[in-house]
Structure 1
C-alpha cells in the first residue's frame, strides 16, 4: 500500500512537471531523445526533472531495436567524460595536491552518463526500467564493443544501488502470493519446476526456498535458492525432486543440500548476490536447525559434454585429443570391448550416445574426465566452468563427482548426467576463497586431491592442441 501511494505521488509530480514543460500536448510530437537527456542534465527542478526522466523512458520504450542501439551509441559518444577537462583537472591536482583539486578531478573523470542514469532513476519505476535497459544493452556488446563504457557506468551504479544493505532476505513458502510462486516456476533454469505439484513438494517441510528482494523491485526476487533438508550428502537428483519422496521432519535432517540457485534479472548480471545469499541462508538454517552439520550443493556441470566433444575432434583450446587419450589409457580395454573394438575416445563417445549407456564401463572414465575438466583447465572465464567458478570463488570445495546423477535429457546433453557436490565448510571458506581467487587453487576433498595429482602429471606431460 505504501509503495502504491508513493508511485501515485511520483506520477502526479511527473504529470505536473510535464504540464509545466509542455512536453506533451494533445497531438504534439515527443522531443528527440537526445534533447530530453540534455535537458534532464541541465539542472531542472524536481517536478520538471521527474517529468523529463519519465519522458526519456517513454521515448526509449517506443523505440525498436535499431533505435535503442542508436540511443546507446549516442550515450557512448556524446555523454562521456571530457578529455580536456580531465587533463586540466589532473594537472591541477598534480600541481596542488589538495582536496578541492581532487574533487574537481573526480568530477571530471565521471561520465555525464552516470548522472543521467541517476536522474532517469527519479522516474516512477525508474530503477526497474534501467535494469531492463541494461539487459538489452548486454545483448549488443558483442557486436558493438564501444558500448561497454555505457554498460560499465550502469554496472557501477547498480553495485551501489543493489548492495547488501538494501537487500531483504525472505523465505518463500507455499502460502506466499501466487504471483510470486509463478515466478519461481518461470525463473528456475537449473532444476526446472514442472508443475504446481512439483513446486508444492519443493516447498514442503523438509525444503526451504529463500530469495533476496530490493525495495525498488519489491515483487521481483532478484535471486532465489532452493534447499533440501536430508540425511547425508545427496549424489543423485531424483530423490531431491521426486514429488513422491517421503517428507522428512526438518529437525531429523543433518544436511542442507543447495539444489538450485537462480538469478532472475539479466540486467543485474555481474553483480554477485549468490555468495551473500548462500552464506546468509546457511547461517539462518543453522540457527533454525542447529543439528545441521553439512552444507553442500548438488550442482550441474554445464559445458562438460561440449568440451569432450570438442576434445575428441582436437578443436578445444586446452583439452587436446592427446590429453583425452592419455586420460583414458587405464580404461582403454573395457571401452574397446564394450564398443566392438573402437579406439578409446570414439568408444567412450559412442557408448555415451546410447539410450542405455553401460554405466559400469563408463563410470570410471567419466569421473576422471570430469575431474580433469574441473581442475586442470585455465581459470579464464571463457574456458573454466562457470558453476565451478561461482562456488569455488565463494569458498566451497569440490567434494565429490557423481556420474549418472541426473538422467534427464537436458543434463545428458550438457554433462552426460554428471553432477558434483561442492561443500561449504565454515572453517575453510575464507582460505578456499583466497586460494582460488588469488592463485587459482581448486580446493578438493582428499580422495579427489590424490587422483588430481596423478591426472595433473600426465596432463602436463601431454601436449595441448597444436
Structure 2
C-alpha cells in the first residue's frame, strides 16, 4: 500500500490537520517500499525528518500512520468471502487461510522490518516506540495498533541468538562504564569515580546487549553481595568486610536504557540470568532480593492525601492521625507553626514537616514518624491499585508481577536520606524478595533462557 501525501508549502497544514513536516516523514516512510529507491537513502530521509518533528507533530504522525498506512477493507474482502464459503475440510482451506494472512499483514510492519537491516535502524525503532508510548501516556491517544506492530518485531528480535549478557567490571572500557554511570536513573551519579564503589568483588554490574547494538546496553542491573538483607543505601555501597559470610544478592538498581523496550519482559529475564550466574559462582548465595525506591510515594500519593487533595485511596486524615501514639502526635504538634486541632489540621502540619528535609536530623520526631510512615508505605505498595488491578507504584508492579514478595518488615525507614530519596519517598526503601521457585518460572517463560551467551565474566574464586 503506497502513501501519496498531499503537497503543501513548507509550514502549512493539510486538510487532515497534519503539517507539511509530518507529510514529508510519511512520504519517507512510504519510500521504504519503493522499488529502485536506496533503502539507506530512504531511511536517512525518514530519520532526519522524524528528528525535526516537535512532540505534537510526532503524535499527529503516529495517528496518520494508523489511519493511512493500513490494510483496506476491499483488500481482504475476497479472502474473507472465500473462507466463509469454504468448509474447513476442503483442500483449498489452507490456501485461503494463507492468502488471508498475507493480506492482513500490516503494511507498517513490513516497513519497520526493513529498518532492522540498516545500520541504526533498530535504534531508530526503539526511540520511535519510546516516543509512541510517551504520546499514549501523556496525550491520552489510542495508538495500540501501531505499538502492536513494533512489539511483534521486537519480540522476535530480542530473543535467542540476538541477546548476550556481559559483566561490567573495573577492567571494562571507559565508554561502557560511562554509559552505566550516565544511564543510572535509580541512583544517579555526578562523577564517574563513583562507579568505583559499585564495581568490585562484592559489588557487581551486569548488562544485557543486543548484537545489533553492541556498544550500548539495552538494560543493566547493579548488585550488592551482602550478609543478610541490606536495609539502606549506605549498607549497599559499603563493601563487605574481610571474613563476611556472603549469603544474599541485593539488586539495588535496574535501568532500561531504551524506553522502546518497555513491557517486553527483559528486566525479568535479566534478573533471572544474573540469579543463575551468581548461584553458579557461589552456592552460599541463596537469598535474592532488591533494595528498591518507592517513586511517587511522597509527591503523588502521601502529600496530596495529607493536604486533602486525594480522596480515592485507602488513607484519609482520620486514619493517618490514628496511626500516631499520643506522644508521636504531640511531637508533630510541637513542631507546627500554629495550633493543631482536628485531623485535617494535623495532616497539614505533618505535610509541612515532611516537605522540609531538615526533619531527618530530628531524632525524636523520627522515632514518632517511623511506624506510621512504614505502615502507610506498605499499604501503598500492596493495596493501592490502578484501574487494571495492578499495583499503583510502578516498581512494586514490576517486582510483584515478576513473582517477588514484600512484607511490612521489609519496608525500611531512612534508608535513603539523599535529597532525591527524601523527595521521592520520605527516605523509605523496600526489599522485594524472590523465592527459590522463581528461577524455574523464568526458565519456563523464556524457552531459550539456558542458551543465552554470557560474555566478559572475570571469574572470582
TM-score interval (norm. to shorter): 0.7 to 0.9
Query: Which has the higher mean CA deviation after the structures are superposed, 168-177 or 81-90?
Result: 81-90
Q: CA deviation at 1:103?
A: 1.9
1:122 paired residue among 117, 136, 141: 117
2:185 paired residue among 179, 183, 189: 189
Kindly tell me: are residues 80 and 311 of structure 1, through their superposed partners in 2, closer, same or farther at Cα, counting changes over 3 Å?
same
Tell me, in whole angstroms, the C-alpha distance in 2 between the residues paired with 1:48 and 1:222. Answer: 29
Contact 2:208 2:270 in 1 (8 A): yes
Contact 2:314 2:384 in 1 (8 A): no
Tell me, in whole angstroms, the C-alpha distance in 1 between the residues paired with 2:209 and 2:165. Answer: 7
Q: CA deviation at 1:406?
A: 0.9
Does residue 311 of structure 2 align to residue 345 of structure 1? no
TM alignment of 1:401-412, pairs within 5 A: 401-412=411-422
TM alignment of 1:314-463, pairs within 5 A: 314-316=308-310, 318-319=312-313, 322=316, 324-338=317-331, 339-340=333-334, 342=340, 343=343, 344-354=346-356, 355-356=358-359, 357=362, 358-380=365-387, 384-399=392-407, 400-427=410-437
Partner of 1:79: 69
Which structure is richer in relative contact order (CA contacts within 8 A, separation 6 or more)? Answer: 2
Q: CA deviation at 1:61?
A: 4.2
Partner of 1:292: 285
RMSD: 2.9
Tell me, in whole angstroms, the C-alpha distance in 2 between the residues paired with 1:375 and 1:70. Answer: 38
SS at 1:134's partner residue?
Answer: helix
Q: CA deviation at 1:293?
A: 1.9
Q: CA deviation at 1:80?
A: 1.2
Tell me, in whole angstroms, the C-alpha distance in 2 between the residues paired with 1:94 and 1:251. Answer: 71
Partner of 1:113: 108
Partner of 1:224: 220
Tell me, in whole angstroms, the C-alpha distance in 2 between the residues paired with 1:349 and 1:292. Answer: 41
TM alignment of 1:5-404, pairs within 5 A: 32-42=24-34, 44=35, 48-61=38-51, 68-69=58-59, 71-96=61-86, 97=88, 98-141=93-136, 142-143=138-139, 145=141, 147-241=143-237, 245-248=238-241, 252-305=245-298, 306-316=300-310, 318-319=312-313, 322=316, 324-338=317-331, 339-340=333-334, 342=340, 343=343, 344-354=346-356, 355-356=358-359, 357=362, 358-380=365-387, 384-399=392-407, 400-404=410-414
TM-score, length-scaled by structure 2: 0.78
Q: CA deviation at 1:107?
A: 2.3
Kindly tell me: are residues 91 and 317 of structure 1, through their superposed partners in 2, closer, same or farther at Cα, counting changes over 3 Å?
farther
Structure 1: gaps of 5 or more residues = 1-30, 435-466
Tell me, in whole angstroms, the C-alpha distance in 1 between the residues paired with 2:75 and 2:402. Answer: 41
Tell me, in whole angstroms, the C-alpha distance in 2 between the residues paired with 1:250 and 1:40. Answer: 61
Partner of 1:9: none
Q: CA deviation at 1:416?
A: 0.6
Tell me, in whole angstroms, the C-alpha distance in 2 between the residues paired with 1:275 and 1:76. Answer: 31
Structure 2: gaps of 5 or more residues = 1-22, 445-461
Which structure dedicates a bigger proportion of its chain to helix? 1
Q: CA deviation at 1:38?
A: 3.4
Tell me, in whole angstroms, the C-alpha distance in 2 between the residues paired with 1:134 and 1:296. Answer: 31
Kindly tell me: are residues 37 and 308 of structure 1, through their superposed partners in 2, closer, same or farther at Cα, counting changes over 3 Å?
closer
Tell me, in whole angstroms, the C-alpha distance in 2 between the residues paired with 1:367 and 1:34. Answer: 52
Tell me, in whole angstroms, the C-alpha distance in 2 between the residues paired with 1:81 and 1:250. Answer: 66
Kindly tell me: are residues 34 and 310 of structure 1, through their superposed partners in 2, closer, same or farther at Cα, counting changes over 3 Å?
closer
Deviation per CA, 1:301-347, whole angstroms, max 9, x where unpaired?
1111131122223432531653x422542425233311236344335
Deviation per CA, 1:242-288, whole angstroms, max 9, x where unpaired?
xxx34546984111111110111122222221100111101100100
Kindly tell me: are residues 393 and 321 of structure 1, through their superposed partners in 2, closer, same or farther at Cα, counting changes over 3 Å?
closer
Contact 2:202 2:239 in 1 (8 A): no
Query: Which has the higher mean CA deviation after the structures are superposed, 197-206 or 306-315?
Result: 306-315
Kindly tell me: are residues 70 and 346 of structure 1, through their superposed partners in 2, closer, same or farther at Cα, counting changes over 3 Å?
closer
User: How many corresponding residue pairs?
Assistant: 397
Deviation per CA, 1:64-100, whole angstroms, max 9, x where unpaired?
5566555434322221121233344333323324222
